[in-house]
Amino acid sequence: MALHLTTAGESHGPGLTCIIEGLPAGLAIEREAINRDLSRRQLGHGRGGRMKIERDQVQVTGGLRHGRTLGGPIALQVLNRDYANWEERMNPWPVPAGLQEVHLPRPGHADLVGTQKYGLTDVRDVLERASARETAARVAGGAVAKAFLAALGVTVRSHVIQIASVHAPRREDLQARDFDAVDESPVRCLDAGASREMVVEIDRLRKANESLGGVFEVIAFGLVPGLGSYVSWGERLDGRLGQAILSIQAIKAVSIGDGFEVAGVPGSKAHDEIFYEEMRGYHRHTNRAGGVEGGMTTGAPLVVRGSMKPLPTLTKPLRSVDIATHEPAEALRERTDSCTVPAAGVVGEAMVAFVLADAYRQKLGGDHIDDAVGALRAYEERIAWRRS
DSSP string, 281-313: EEEES--TTTTEETTEE-SSPEEEEEEEPPPS-
The yes-or-no verdict on residue 285 having pLDDT over 70 is yes
pLDDT at 97: 72
Structural domain includes residue 169: yes
List, for residues 62-86, the tens digit of each pLDDT value: 999 999 999 999 999 999 999 999 9
The yes-or-no verdict on residue 219 having pLDDT over 80 is yes
Structural domain includes residue 336: yes
Q: Which positions ≥6 away from 70 have C-beta within 8 Å? A: 25, 63, 64
Mean pLDDT of 34-48: 90
List, for residues 146-164, the tens digit of each pLDDT value: 999 999 999 999 999 999 9
CATH number at residue 107: 3.60.150.10
pLDDT at 51: 58
pLDDT at 257: 97
pLDDT tier for residue 53 given thresholds of 50, 70 and 90: low
pLDDT at 61: 97
Distance CA 110, CA 130 (A): 7
pLDDT at 50: 57
Residue 345 sits in which domain range? 102-382
pLDDT at 337: 86
The yes-or-no verdict on residue 177 having pLDDT over 60 is yes
Mean pLDDT of 99-114: 94
The yes-or-no verdict on residue 273 having pLDDT over 60 is yes
Which residues pair with residue 319 across a beta bridge?
Answer: 330
What's the mean per-residue pLDDT of the chain? 95
High-pLDDT (> 70) share of the chain, %: 97
Structural domain includes residue 375: yes
pLDDT at 334: 77
Distance CA 316, CA 276 (A): 58
Residue whose C-alpha is closest to residue 179's, from 143, 223, 219: 219
Distance CA 365, CA 190 (A): 37
pLDDT tier for residue 245 given thresholds of 50, 70 and 90: very high
The yes-or-no verdict on residue 204 having pLDDT over 80 is yes
The yes-or-no verdict on residue 293 having pLDDT over 80 is yes
Residue whose C-alpha is closest to residue 163's, from 208, 194, 184: 194
pLDDT at 263: 95
Structural domain includes residue 106: yes
- Total domain count, the chain: 1
Distance CA 380, CA 388 (A): 13
Structural domain includes residue 8: no
pLDDT tier for residue 57 given thresholds of 50, 70 and 90: very high
Mean pLDDT of 174-185: 96
Give yes or no for a contact between 79 and 14, defined as CB atoms under 8 angstroms apart: yes
Structural domain includes residue 33: no
List, for residues 294-342, the tens digit of each pLDDT value: 999 999 999 999 999 999 988 889 999 999 999 999 998 876 789 999 9
